[in-house]
Amino acid sequence: MKYEANLESVRKHKVPEWFHDAKFGIFIHWSLSSVPAFAVTGIDLVDSMEKGIEVHFKNNPYAEWYLNSLRISGSPTQKYHEKTYGKEFSYDNFVAIFNKESKKWNPNKMVELFKKAGAKYVVLVTKHHDGFLLWPSKFPNPRKKNYYASRDIVGKLSEAVKSTGMKMGFYYSGSLDWSFNPNPITNTASFLTNGVITQKYIEYANNHWYELIDRYEPMILWNDIGYPPGTNLNEIFSYFYNKFPEGIVNDRWLQLPESVRENLKNLPEQTLRENMKNAMKPKEKEETGTSRFFHYDFITTEYAVIDKIFKTKWETCRGIGNSFGYNQFETEGDYIKPEELIKMFVDIVSKNGNLLLNMGPMADGTIPEIQKKILLEFGKWIEINGEAIYGTRPWSRAEGKTTDDIDIRFIQKADTLFIHLLGKPLNNEITIESLHVPNNTRIQLLSQEKYLDWDQAGGDLKIILPKNLKDSAVYVFKIVPTPITSLT
């Protein structure tokens, strides 16, 4: 269909099947912050926010927020920067170092790793909040000369990703750009009002989106932290959809008019924080896939998952550690364990979500060994159990338990139900509560060819397990055919 530049038209766009099928994507945060690669360690986003918003911004665990943290007097980042580089060393001085180091980057090697991990799409940060561009734009930064990567990182990565059959997507920091606004974000009010809203910046950001769409042909537009007012977003969306009908846009395009921003500055900090917290929660009324303000195809959460099957397609993004950008000071204890990651992933998929897992490359484009190790372990599980992930849809319910209290996630594909067991059984059988199957049912443990013996114990399903069951983060049972009915 032909999309027009209005909300009524673009909201008719449907999430394409490829995104429902994909389940797993790779996020890449790679910018000037990868050179100093510093942030406070030992604390994640949730814990950091609970200590208070001002404490959070001063001790931000996100290394990609280095420039903002550097601008806060007395912050650990400022102290580290002055000790390591000296007071006169500007953040802009990292450009030359980044450009020298990034010459070593091998995009095909990077993409090969993502493919081994089972990713189906990749989202690259083309411009983060520091304003540094990862492509040679025809619309360069008007405030900083040569403030872009000397290599066409966007182009080279897009080419490598598409050559493997994966989809390519672009992140762009739509509202925040610290190369235009030198004032640091220190609390909720400054966070909500830090975005640039000048006409010159609006044209700059719009030009970038159209350029990225035309030159590199992405399938995902992943905007972050709102978009400046004064733009008809439906013009961007309709232009994108008309070129790529199977493209998708995320939900982080909220536009705050200047009058609203001024009112926000006068509200108490606690009120602002509570309002922002509530606004970030996925709402029941938004399960239809569009807010009353703007259109989106999918909801994004960050270091958080939705706790039920959600009608609107959603995606959670998170770092493989506590930071998105590379933080050289993170230890193994700061990174998610492969077993925890796999269980979280299964839970997400069972509730109609995708996982966008971030890699934070070093300045030279190398994926750190800790990240690589976790990703490959994840990929080994996917290689065995991918049948129970890709192309699946939520069942009538997502969660269940065995009678010995092991958590279960249910996921469906056509005439097959997959039961994901989130723990190792204590003996040679499991009994799944409130599950009834027909007499001709066949049950198989993925990775093994033989069918398993089973018995319907009243309203529960008992499955006899193979001897010498190998360790796995999640065991997957394939149950065929339908109908399979839940008694809950």
What pLDDT, in 10s, does the model give residues 457-486?
A: 888 999 999 988 999 999 999 999 764 555
In this structure, which topology does domain 393-486 adopt according to CATH?
Answer: Immunoglobulin-like (2.60.40)
For strands 407-413 and 416-421, give the pairing: antiparallel
Helix, strand or coil, per DSSP, at residue 116: helix
- pLDDT score recorded for residue 272: 73
For residues 424 and 435, the answer to whether their CB atoms sit within 8 Å is no
Dihedrals phi, psi of 305, to nearest 5 degrees: -125, 155
Residue bearing tokens 């338990």: 401
For strands 314-319 and 299-302, give the pairing: parallel
For the chain, the structural domain boundaries read: 7-388, 393-486
Euclidean distance between CA atoms 173 and 128, whole angstroms? 5
- pLDDT score recorded for residue 280: 60
Read off the pLDDT of residues 244-292 as tens digits, 9 standing for 90 and up. 999 999 999 999 888 888 887 777 777 776 766 666 666 544 444 555 6
- pLDDT score recorded for residue 284: 47
Euclidean distance between CA atoms 272 and 262, whole angstroms? 13
Helix, strand or coil, per DSSP, at residue 62: coil
Euclidean distance between CA atoms 310 and 330, whole angstroms? 34
- pLDDT score recorded for residue 108: 98
- pLDDT score recorded for residue 487: 46
Do the domains at 7-388 and 393-486 have one common CATH topology?
Answer: no
Give the chain's end-to-end CA distance (angstroms, integer).
41
The CATH architecture assigned to 7-388 reads: Alpha-Beta Barrel (3.20)
- Compute mean pLDDT per 10 residues along the chain, 488 residues long, and list them: 95 97 98 98 84 91 98 98 98 98 98 98 98 98 97 98 98 98 94 94 98 98 96 97 98 91 78 68 52 86 94 96 97 96 98 98 98 98 98 96 96 95 94 92 93 92 92 96 56
Euclidean distance between CA atoms 443 and 481, whole angstroms? 9
Euclidean distance between CA atoms 213 and 485, whole angstroms? 45
Contacts of 288 (CB under 8 A, 6+ apart): 311, 312
